[in-house]
Structure 1
Amino acid sequence: MTQVRMDIETIVVGGGPVASMVVLRPRNPRLTDGNLQLPIQIGLAEASAISMGMDDSTNHRPFTHDLLKNVVSELGSTISSVGIDRVEGATFFAHVTLIRSDGEHINVDARPSDAIALAVRTKAPIFVNSDVLETAAYPDFTTVRKDEEERELKEFHDFVETLSPEDFLIGNNGESQKS
């Protein structure tokens, strides 16, 4: 199982009929088949928790993910990484890797949204199993659109390079004089 390091591309904090989601992107697109995005639908509260963690917001009292981070720290452990291991239908499965003070590594089952909320608070890396990317990732359509625009611009440039002044000469009958 190959693990791919991911970064958070964006958070959509939905409301009403719009679902909340977190979109992950491979840190190094060369390790995957091009530019991919991994959208994961999450709850509104979890989207807010991730967003607040990314903003390094400080609150008067700790929220749930802040509390868990503090408990892990007080017990002498650290959160070394989080991973998204598999996907079944639209459900993603993740874990949080803790390192205890004696060096033992412990993997704790977690929802991806909770794992990511902890990762942003502890600066822990986020990894996704390459099988999950193959199953659930989408192309980055912004990049696809940019590539298409560049291709069209090159085709137009190549066309302009083939033109000569004679292509623009028009005779008295309104037709091109080029034979």
Structure 2
Amino acid sequence: MIKLMIKGFAYDVSGSPIVLLTDEEEEKVLPLWIGLLEAHSIALAVEGTEMPRPMTHDLIITICKMLKATISRVVINDLRDNTFYATIDLTTEIETIAMDARPSDAIALALRSSAPIYLKNNLADNMLSISELIDEETKKELDKFFNVSNLKKTLH
């Protein structure tokens, strides 16, 4: 499996948010189109921002803690009809359960629980090579733009 990290966010021409996940070497990127609310939740988690009242993903983490369960990892494991699928591995004292989830929700929960995010190897062809897409100077400029602070300005 390929371990992924949040690189930042982008928007498509219609204004839909895209979360950009890279491999550990930051050589390839997996763009995932997500909803605005999920983008906001992911951005808050990346920033470490705490809201005065728990948001849905915060509530789920609290429930897990109360039940002595932990999110051990998230796996983006399938692609069907141009839609990615994911599982959240929830570990208790007794067992680990793989629960079906939308990748955006799984990512938001992984960030809040410091769980790793993985992509199954058979989906690696969906990752784009950063070096083939842009030159080094453009990459540096994009690194400044595709970050959480730019998303924060538009979501708050």
Structures share fold, TM-score greater than 0.5:
yes
Consecutive unaligned residues of structure 2, counting only runs of 5 or more, are 138-156
What is aligned with 2:129?
A: 139
Among all aligned residue pairs of Structure 1 and Structure 2, give the percentage whose two residues are the same amino acid.
Answer: 32
SS in 2 for 1:38: strand
Task: Give the drift of 1:81.
Answer: 0.5
Query: How far, CA to CA, are the matches of 2:42 and 2:89 in structure 1?
Result: 18
Pair 1:111 & 2:102 matched: yes
What is aligned with 1:169?
A: none
SS in 1 for 2:110: helix
Pair 1:78 & 2:70 matched: yes
1:38-88 CA deviation, whole Å, 9 max, x = no partner? 000000110000000111111111000000011111111000000100112
Q: How does 1:1-179 map to 2 (within 5 A)?
A: 3-12=1-10, 14=11, 17-28=14-25, 35-102=27-94, 104-134=95-125, 136-141=126-131, 144-146=134-136
- Residue correspondences, number: 137
Consecutive unaligned residues of structure 1, counting only runs of 5 or more, are 30-34, 148-179
Amino acid corresponding to residue 123 of structure 2 in structure 1: V
SS in 2 for 1:8: strand
TM-score of the pair, normalised by structure 1: 0.71
Cα RMSD between the aligned structures?
2.0
SS in 1 for 2:109: helix
Task: Give the drift of 1:120.
Answer: 0.8
SS in 1 for 2:124: helix
Query: How far, CA to CA, are the matches of 1:113 and 1:21 in structure 2?
Result: 10
Is contact 1:15-1:44 (8 Å) kept?
no
Query: How far, CA to CA, are the matches of 1:83 and 1:66 in structure 2?
Result: 20
Query: How far, CA to CA, are the matches of 1:98 and 1:89 in structure 2?
Result: 27
Query: How far, CA to CA, are the matches of 2:32 and 2:133 in structure 1?
Result: 20
Whose radius of gyration is greater, 1 or 2? Answer: 1
Task: Give the drift of 1:24.
Answer: 0.6
